[in-house]
Amino acid sequence: MIIGVGIDVAAIDRFAESLERTPRLARRLFVDAELILPSGERRGAASLAARFAAKEALAKALGAPGGMLWTDAEVYVEASGQPKLRVTGTVAARAQALGVRSLHLSLSHDAGVASAVVVAEG
């Protein structure tokens, strides 16, 4: 059963400018694993914008309640290349309250726009 669907888009250049203008913003939005690649390099603006869109889409799929922390949702990529969401704390509590048993995520970025779709399934 589908509990919720969320979609979001983010302009990559605008998102990058926000991160540059407010350096602490990245730490409020992302966990370390989202910011730094396994090679030790910082993740690029397009990838971060897509991850931000995923967190916005997740919030919408969960009914967009207040009080959820950005860092309680993490976007990661499995060895197969499939993007996934890991939820903890406030986000996990909201998902559990709604009866969510699995989350499905699709990410894309092209032509200066990053997008994400999340389906919450019970």
What is the model's pLDDT at position 28?
Answer: 95
Note whether 2 and 118 are within 8 A (CB).
no
According to the model, what pLDDT value does residue 37 have? 87
H or E stretch at 59:
helix 45-61
Q: In terms of C-beta density within 10 A (0-12 exposed, 13-18 middle, 19 or more buried), how is residue 35 classed? A: middle
18-56 residue pLDDT tens: 999 998 999 999 999 999 988 889 999 999 999 999 999
Cα 73 to chain centroid, rounded: 7
Angle (CA) 103 45 4, round 5°: 20
Quick one: pLDDT at residue 66? 83
Q: Give pTM, 2 decimals.
A: 0.94
pLDDT tens-digit series, residues 61-101: 999 888 899 999 999 999 999 999 999 999 999 999 999 99
For the record, the structure tokens of 104 come out as: 């499905």
What's the token pair of residue 28? Answer: 């409020």
Residue 94: phi, psi to the nearest 5? -65, -45
Which of 117, 89, 113 lies closest to 11, judged by CA? 113
Which domains, and CATH codes, for the chain?
2-121 (3.90.470.20)
